Amino acid sequence: MEISFTGRRALVTGAGKGIGRATALALVKCGAEVIAVTRTQADLDTLVKECPSIQPVCVDLSDWDATERALRSIGPVDLLVNNAGYGGQQPFLDVTQEEFDKCFNINVKGALHVAQIVARGMKARGSGGSIVNVSSQASQRALRDHAVYCATKGALDMLTKVMALELGPHQIRVNSINPTVVMTEMGRTGWSDPEKAKTMISHIPLGKFAEVEDVVHSILFLLSDKSAMTNGIIMPVDGGFLAC
């Protein structure tokens, strides 16, 4: 199955590292014009060096007004990957206000705001579009020390469904992708301890964590017309973790 995004413009958040960076590069390979958004300029510098056609935007997406300013003049966007995320860990009884706000501000509020900006343009142009929210298996299953992260991803899944409901009539599809652990910088922070990793893997029927490419391929499918009738789904990329 060949996927082409020739003639389409795509915006990827959190494109400096990990899943977002790989998604941005894969979209370029499929012919899309890509806008890469993240908050560390050095990551954007190396990304543009690797792929000069990428349009970089440096902004902290947890800052509502700065996001508005940064994305005001990006032009039409057909495809959005709401990928930027933060995954701090604290036992429930130790959760702080700072950690709660930090996690919700990027994982939920930031995703909502970027999608609003992009979807308003899609609606105005009447051109439709596809949005993928990068959620997690943590949205559906309790994970120790991940109270706030789990709550943000649960909120993001519900946001996906309401967006699908309200934006569907404008031919804008919205879906969630829900990976298991991927050994990116974020994955390593949470799952480098071999005992912890072993326990998690023992609950994944395929017996392994996901690779970045596993997630990227599913994102590309949901962005593409190959999934033209798929709207409002929560798609696990989890080796079967959520099935059992």
CB of 1 to ligand NDP, least distance (A): 24
Known active-site residue 196: no
Active-site residue, from 109, 149, 161, 198: 149
Range list of H helices, 30-174: 41-50, 64-71, 97-104, 111-125, 147-167
CB of 84 to ligand NDP, least distance (A): 4
**Cα–Cα distance between 24 and 47 in angstroms, integer?**
9
**Cα–Cα distance between 207 and 188 in angstroms, integer?**
18
Closest C-alpha among 70, 32, 65 to residue 51: 32
**In the complex with ligand NDP, which residue's Cβ is closer, 7 or 152?**
152
**In the complex with ligand NDP, which residue's Cβ is closer, 56 or 187?**
187
Task: At 148, list the tokens.
Answer: 């706030």
Q: What is the biggest distance separating any 2 CA atoms in the chain, rounded to whole angstroms?
A: 52
CB of 144 to ligand NDP, least distance (A): 15
Which positions touch ligand NDP (CB under 6 A)? Answer: 14, 16-20, 38-40, 43, 60-62, 83-87, 106, 134, 136, 179, 181-182, 184-187
Which amino acid makes up residue 30?
C
**In the complex with ligand NDP, which residue's Cβ is closer, 62 or 231?**
62
**In the complex with ligand NDP, which residue's Cβ is closer, 42 or 124?**
42
Active-site residue, from 153, 196, 208, 226: 153
CB of 16 to ligand NDP, least distance (A): 3
End-to-end CA distance of the chain: 30
Known active-site residue 153: yes
**Cα–Cα distance between 186 and 213 in angstroms, integer?**
16
Q: Just list the catalytic residues.
A: 149, 153
